[in-house]
Structure 1
Amino acid sequence: MLKSHANLLEPRPSDRLRIGDRVVDIPLREIAPLDGGEPVRVTLKSLGVLLVLVAHAGRPVSREALLEWVWPDTLPTDDVITQAITQLRKALGDDRERPRYIETLAKQGYRLIASIEWQVAPDAPPADAPAAAATAELSAPRARRRWVVPASAAAGVVLSLFAAGYLLELRPKASTDDLAVPSSGAPTTAQRLEFQRIASMPAAEERPSLSPDGALVVYTRSGKQGASATLMLQTSTATPPRALTEAVPGQYDLMPAWSPDGREIAFVRSGPDRCQVMVIPAAGGSAREIGDCIGGESHPLAWYPDGRALVGARRTGDGTRTGAEKALYRMALDVGRWERIPYARSPADEDLSPVVSPDGRWIAFQRNVSLADLWRIPVGGGTPQRLTDLRTNIYGLAWTPDSRGLLFTRYRDGKVVLSTLDLDSGRIVDHPGGESSFMFPSVSAGDGTVAFEVENMRSIARRLAIDDGEAALGRSEVVFESTGSNILPSVAPDGRQVLFVSDRTGDMRLWWQDASRPDTLRSFADFIPMPRHPVMWHPESQRALAIGRAPGGTAGVYEIEPARGRMTRLAVPDRDPVHVAYHPDPNRLLVVADRGGGRLGVTLYDRSARPWRALAQVSDVAVAVVDPRHRRIVLARTATPELLGADLDLRHVRAVDRVINQRRNRMLVSTSDGVRVMDARGCALYWRRVAVDAADKDAQQSGRCLGSEGWWLEGVTYAAAAGAVYVSVIQDMQTDIGVAPIPSVGGGPASIVRPVASR
């Protein structure tokens, strides 16, 4: 039986395999003659049967073993093997009576009798090599050079495919226990976190805060259809909760934070006209108002250790309220007014989620969003010190009880994991939760417990017909159905091809399909996309730009030729690019990337030079798209809701427009009649054009409402021929409360991420 060979599991040498006079392209599931004849595509299960036979080349493999490995956890009929073998023989040009590839053995099964060679490509050139030299053929139909790997050395390579259940990528999934995984700048160690759900009602349960002794937890629970939100209190075990505040329609009690002495809970109360900071006795009773929220919007709260003051930071920005900058603030409870903490920062920095160390010496916080890191300042203010060099999305942080470490949650290849940082050594350890994401940790000083949100979310891609108006979202069509999430659909200008990101295989991948040929659906192996923005297509629809990385590598910009299954890493000089766009001049490219300290900016590059030459730069920019009709570039600010315009040389920058909600300024789409944006003016999905200049007062009234709901969007693209907008929206989101012992901070084998000096 095949299980006796489980100890042979290893990463396979290549995506391409020669069997006899045929070449098997594993990611494409294609078998082609060596002489360049037409390839034949086989089914996923047929490929699985072939790879098991390859793993045991020259030896019999029983039908029972094939069923066990290729059809695990199912009850198929015996005919499925016959059908798979028949399809393989047809693709290989084999004859059952006079076999050259697959031999049938009476009462024993099947045996692969053809010779085998793994075709291993050379290592890819470095990122700063010329683009032409950096071309890597991922899932390409032909190979020009061959490096032969003996079949015996790869005998067990494919067995892990079925144990892990991933046939398309054909890479074994490593255990999350003591798994070495890279971060931006340095590797970290991963140790799986065992946790318990203590609140798991269908309603959203969010933002837990533990009492100092760890015995109780308070959190927010949303009412039916999101009409209100109340604070719930329960023990830190799976027991029924009780309501701490009253459910009032239109009133949202959010962001609870337990006081250091355990007697009170601070929280934010957000209503239609006002956002207030409140305090309520932990034992229950009437809440009292302390003051207004920073900038009039809800945000997290944290206590100073003496219990006399709160620390906070403004979370978001919009186009109607003029309020505080995105900095750190302190509110003394007996004063009730937020005061800016004196410390150095750039106007483009977004400082979030501050927490004061239990010893009262430091304030740790998150700086910036797309390329976020952890920083700290002395509790009274001063010069910020950068603690990490991760450049990723971060979702909440908390101090360890001894003030020597931090717990935080961060994005990692499709999930949000709990991580620990030892401040003395700089060691970071990730603690993934399997299929769940962990967010917004809270630590108890008394019993060494951490509580957090446990999130399981599914997003789907939808096509909205603009002519349906306000009913467009309700009538929208789901595209790319699967049990996983399908996000960031990007429609080519030809209206047929779509690139999108999905975790349908259990890991995050970039997928492509020609809608006129459903059987063309395939993913790009060995490429991990960064799912921040939709892929940007070239006007000719033959290629596109994506940002991602190879496993174990750093992020880069790749040019894709989807129909050919080909990807080329471009020689972009920037580290950590987050957005990229074509320019009308084929020798130019627009790249948004880190400009220091996680601050974003856009550069117009001349890519005909080696190395690429920067022609112009604009700081504090998150997205840049070309408007071919008006011969301009439209830019989205990082920290304000402003939209800027510049000429095609990225000069003469000026403000031209602004959106209602700051995050919507990044949902820019280039169309034949100008740049459009999915604003939120008067309804959740307001599709309108971007003003040509500040004098164009009609632009904000030029759009159509496509839905009164749907605030949670992940990318927007436009299919002109169909008169439709493609978006991805959150379909199902379950947020529960989980608890676990605080993971060891600084203990065990962990790689070191040295603190980085302030920039």
Structure 2
Amino acid sequence: MPRILDPSPLHPPSERLRVGDCIVDVPLREVRAPASRRPQRITPKSMGVLLVLVENAGKVVSRDALLTEVWPDTLPTDDVITQAITQLRKAFGQERGDPRYIETIAKNGYRLLAPVEWLAQEEGRPGAGEREAAATFAMDVADDDVVDVVPWPAPPRRSHSELIVASSVVLVLLGLVLLFAWWRGAGGDGRATMQRDAWLQQAPPASRPYRLITSAPGFELAPTLSPDASMVAYMAVPEGQRSTAILVQTTDQSLPRQLTRPSGEAEDSAPAWSPDGREIAYVRMIPGQQCQVMVVAAGGGAERKVADCDRRSAPTFSWTPDGRGLIFGSMVTESGSTGLRILDLANGAWRAVQYRSGADDVDLSPRYSPDGRWIVFVRNGPLGDFWRLPAHGGEAQRLSKLRADVRGWDWLPDGDGLLFGRMTDGVVRLNRLDFDEGVVSDLGIDDVWTPTVALARPAAAFVQRKPYYGLFKIVLPDPRQPGVHVAEPIFPSSARDLSPMVSPDGRQLAFMSDRSGVQALWWADLADPGSLRMIAGLQPRPRYAPVWAPDSRRLMVVGVDASGDAAVFEVTPSSGQVVRLPVPVRDPAEAVYLPDPDRLLVLAAAGDGRLQLELYDRRAEPWRKLASLDDVSHVQLDKTGQRLLFARQTRAGLWEANLALDLASVRQVDNEGPAPDRYRFWSVGPDGQIAYLEQLQNCAARLRQLGNATPLPPRCLDQTRRSAPTGFSTGPGGVIYVSLAEWDGADIGFMELPSEPHKFAPGWSR
């Protein structure tokens, strides 16, 4: 019979507890292990299992009891418990065969062995400086990037301080009420479990300015807020379905309702809420067939197609201020990319925005300012910057000098700045661009993607995603013979292991990882697992993978020098020697060896975020530039074919050129892949075969050939685990080395913004 707690006055637990050497943040569902650089987020059900084990610490809890407590009124299989226990053990850093935290009692259940302690409010938090930053949502102005900002007309300011105070009080009271209900009902009846889950998912801790409003397994992505911030629409895979659809829910965390219902293999994504709150535009993609821009009433109903788009590259767009049209970023065409264009929804007519744009410029994610006077967009990612132009057209002006990988952005409500996600050393962090001060400030929140802002009410939503990747070796059988491939983990860790690059001789592996607490280059002899070590004296940039020399003795990595500038380093793994190369470019992104040791290829920023491939003779200093090629996003050497293969920034497909970069030798070898946003998902094998990784509904990591008139059948490397976006490699014999997601998911976060973002009120600044 469930235990009933005494309803006399209680002292509820704090938001954190210590389990062994680990700190558990219950509202955020995060476990911070001593050896892990970042906390790991667990699912609500895994947290429910942990809390039951904590309540019965040292005692055996049967599987039936766990099912009753955590999955009431449902009929799940025992697999759900196994998955939850596995995730908890991984979060605690428990190794196989060493049950320091959770012990399995054969044919019975589980027992929590580690000591448990609920912590006082200030215990178990990060260090003092980090704690202050979290508690106040600080802007670390010491690390500000100074940018050139065009003078910006200051619109009248609006005050919402009373609304912010009231909302904060309500949220705190709601959290305490739910916490009390959870503590009283922890005995296990269904109502108590639901109260506990609601608290876990909804109540924000005092040290965080946001709360998570979704918690379903899998991914909730691309949020868009209604103008009053009462509703959020996002893309996700509804329960029991296989395709992504658009879901809508309130921002106080109600159950979502499915707004769109794509049929067959179609998938819906990229929702955008109209200014009047009545409609939502989105993209419907049918793999291998077509791409469509759709509009549907926010309350549901008949959907309508308003435009076609290129199926190889989904468009970026937002609404015009009057709600009568959509403004699109550059779109791929057979002759290259277009500039900004506006679609009139009433008659389907297109109108080009009148401004100057280069043939190789890619202008994405355009948005009108809150007062409708300006258009701001991102030009030429992944080394992109913010640009603006008058809403009626005119001269585009650069707002920042970031050369950043921007992962979504939106205007702040008063129009004095932007809120955006920025990829830095493999982590997306929330940033603010301030027009008046001329700085970009890191706001101190990690793993924040695609922020969106409601203008009528100062509030923001975003995706919080913390993927962790492991390295795998996959030996593919002959496609003409029966056989099953196995994804064999290599050098496992609880960190983010990226870009596994096998040497041409197939004997060594180099990869990027933050397993040491910082982003670093790692190397190992594949025949000797004990040889794994970090290459000291180098801080690599993880955007591009390391590149091996044809003789397998050295490799090149783009990293950061002592002054913080990008530089090319040559590494000799056998000795650990690291040498900076005198590359005569300011911002190199990638460097590639050629068969001639006196020649080197460098991919570098050519201005305004555009990338240019340059060929150098390095027999004398300064190096002499021999040739160059514009509009290149990634390049690899095909030693067998004595050619260079490359992807472009402006369009989908793959191209080749000779080793001298003669323009006359450039030709397209495949027009389907890679897509511009998947420019690193391909690899050239020792035999010259080109492999491309794509993501489909029924296969999260599918491998297919490019540039072959009679390609081999595609192979599904893994049905559920996505590959990391930073590259993979193919070794002798067709052996694939790839980084796959060990733990990956995404939830929607929501937070109130300061009433005057320009000043960043208390709770946002120090």
Give TM-score scaled by structure 1 length.
0.68
CA contact (8 A) 2:635 2:644 kept: yes
The CA deviation string for residues 57-88 of structure 1, in whole angstroms up to 9 with x for no partner, is: xxxxxxxxxxxxxxxx9999xxxxxxxxxxxx
Aligned to 2:709, what secondary structure does the other structure show? helix
CA contact (8 A) 1:330 1:340 kept: yes
The CA deviation string for residues 203-230 of structure 1, in whole angstroms up to 9 with x for no partner, is: 3211111121122212222135872223
Aligned to 2:310, what secondary structure does the other structure show? helix
Cα RMSD over matched residues? Answer: 3.5
Residue 587 (structure 1) aligned to one of 579, 588, 598: 598
Amino acid of the residue matched to residue 494 of structure 1? D
Amino acid of the residue matched to residue 307 of structure 2? D
Aligned to 2:506, what secondary structure does the other structure show? coil
Amino acid of the residue matched to residue 537 of structure 1? W
Aligned to 2:743, what secondary structure does the other structure show? strand
Q: Give the Cα–Cα distance (whole angstroms) in 2 for the partners of residues 387 and 346 of structure 1.
A: 17
Quote the residue 1:635 is aligned against.
646
Question: Measured at CA, do residues 323 and 745 of structure 1 come closer, stay the same or move farther in structure 2, by a change above 3 Å?
Answer: farther
Q: Give the Cα–Cα distance (whole angstroms) in 1 for the partners of residues 94 and 686 of structure 2.
A: 53
The CA deviation string for residues 504-525 of structure 1, in whole angstroms up to 9 with x for no partner, is: 2443222111222222222234
Q: Give the Cα–Cα distance (whole angstroms) in 1 for the partners of residues 628 and 525 of structure 2.
A: 36
Quote the residue 2:716 is aligned against.
707
Q: 1:475-486 maps to which residues of 2 (within 5 A)?
A: 475-486=486-497
Quote the residue 1:538 is aligned against.
549
Aligned to 2:745, what secondary structure does the other structure show? strand
Q: Give the Cα–Cα distance (whole angstroms) in 2 for the partners of residues 324 and 228 of structure 1.
A: 30
Quote the residue 1:336 is aligned against.
348
The CA deviation string for residues 304-333 of structure 1, in whole angstroms up to 9 with x for no partner, is: 221221112256x6xxx8588253221122
Quote the residue 1:347 is aligned against.
359
Quote the residue 2:278 is aligned against.
263
Quote the residue 2:626 is aligned against.
615
The CA deviation string for residues 553-594 of structure 1, in whole angstroms up to 9 with x for no partner, is: 122111111222221111112122222111222222100011
Q: 1:439-458 maps to which residues of 2 (within 5 A)?
A: 439-458=449-468
Quote the residue 1:6 is aligned against.
none
Q: 1:199-214 maps to which residues of 2 (within 5 A)?
A: 199-214=214-229
Amino acid of the residue matched to residue 648 of structure 1? L
The CA deviation string for residues 692-748 of structure 1, in whole angstroms up to 9 with x for no partner, is: xxxxxxx3324453327577453121221x541212233432111001233675547
Residue 174 of structure 1 and its aligned partner are, at CA, apart by 11
Q: Give the Cα–Cα distance (whole angstroms) in 1 for the partners of residues 231 and 467 of structure 2.
A: 27
Residue 387 of structure 1 and its aligned partner are, at CA, apart by 1.1
Amino acid of the residue matched to residue 463 of structure 1? K
Give TM-score scaled by structure 2 length.
0.67
Further displaced range: 492-501 or 237-246: 237-246
Residue 369 (structure 1) aligned to one of 381, 384, 399: 381
Tell whether 2:530 aligns with 1:519.
yes
Residue 349 of structure 1 and its aligned partner are, at CA, apart by 1.8
Task: Return 5+ residue gaps in structure 2 as ranges.
Answer: 1-91, 96-123, 150-206, 762-766
Question: Measured at CA, do residues 194 and 503 of structure 1 come closer, stay the same or move farther in structure 2, by a change above 3 Å?
Answer: farther
Residue 692 (structure 2) aligned to one of 672, 675, 678: 678
Question: Measured at CA, do residues 217 and 634 of structure 1 come closer, stay the same or move farther in structure 2, by a change above 3 Å?
Answer: closer
Aligned to 1:593, what secondary structure does the other structure show? strand
Q: Give the Cα–Cα distance (whole angstroms) in 2 for the partners of residues 281 and 673 of structure 1.
A: 53
Amino acid of the residue matched to residue 619 of structure 1? D
The CA deviation string for residues 624-664 of structure 1, in whole angstroms up to 9 with x for no partner, is: 33333343333332222343333332224320412422336
Amino acid of the residue matched to residue 219 of structure 2? A
Residue 465 of structure 1 and its aligned partner are, at CA, apart by 1.6
Structure number with greater Rg is 1
Tell whether 2:733 aligns with 1:717.
no
Residue 412 (structure 2) aligned to one of 384, 400, 410: 400
Q: Give the Cα–Cα distance (whole angstroms) in 1 for the partners of residues 483 and 338 of structure 2.
A: 35
Amino acid of the residue matched to residue 388 of structure 1? S
The CA deviation string for residues 128-170 of structure 1, in whole angstroms up to 9 with x for no partner, is: xxxxxxxxxxxxxxxxxxxxxxxxxxxxxxxxxx9989xxxxx
Q: Give the Cα–Cα distance (whole angstroms) in 2 for the partners of residues 669 and 439 of structure 1.
A: 27
Q: 1:261-340 maps to which residues of 2 (within 5 A)?
A: 261-271=276-286, 273-282=289-298, 284-296=299-311, 298-313=314-329, 322=334, 325-340=337-352
Q: How many residues align?
A: 567
Q: Give the Cα–Cα distance (whole angstroms) in 1 for the partners of residues 434 and 735 of structure 2.
A: 50
Task: Return 5+ residue gaps in structure 1 as ranges.
Answer: 1-72, 77-161, 166-171, 691-698, 750-759
Amino acid of the residue matched to residue 245 of structure 1? T
CA contact (8 A) 1:311 1:328 kept: yes
Residue 218 (structure 1) aligned to one of 220, 227, 233: 233
Question: Measured at CA, do residues 428 and 582 of structure 1 come closer, stay the same or move farther in structure 2, by a change above 3 Å?
Answer: same
Q: 1:147-162 maps to which residues of 2 (within 5 A)?
A: none
Aligned to 1:433, what secondary structure does the other structure show? strand
Amino acid of the residue matched to residue 320 of structure 2? Y
Q: Sequence identity, in percent?
A: 35
Question: Measured at CA, do residues 701 and 666 of structure 1 come closer, stay the same or move farther in structure 2, by a change above 3 Å?
Answer: farther
Amino acid of the residue matched to residue 281 of structure 1? A
Further displaced range: 516-525 or 291-300: 291-300
Q: 1:89-100 maps to which residues of 2 (within 5 A)?
A: none
Residue 596 of structure 1 and its aligned partner are, at CA, apart by 1.0
Q: Give the Cα–Cα distance (whole angstroms) in 1 for the partners of residues 619 and 684 of structure 2.
A: 24
Q: Give the Cα–Cα distance (whole angstroms) in 2 for the partners of residues 748 and 186 of structure 1.
A: 19
Further displaced range: 448-457 or 246-255: 246-255
Amino acid of the residue matched to residue 342 of structure 1? Q
Question: Measured at CA, do residues 347 and 728 of structure 1 come closer, stay the same or move farther in structure 2, by a change above 3 Å?
Answer: farther
Residue 352 of structure 1 and its aligned partner are, at CA, apart by 1.2
Residue 184 of structure 1 and its aligned partner are, at CA, apart by 7.3
CA contact (8 A) 1:276 1:289 kept: no
Residue 660 (structure 1) aligned to one of 667, 672, 676: 672
Q: Give the Cα–Cα distance (whole angstroms) in 2 for the partners of residues 74 and 455 of structure 1.
A: 20
Amino acid of the residue matched to residue 412 of structure 2? T
Aligned to 1:662, what secondary structure does the other structure show? coil
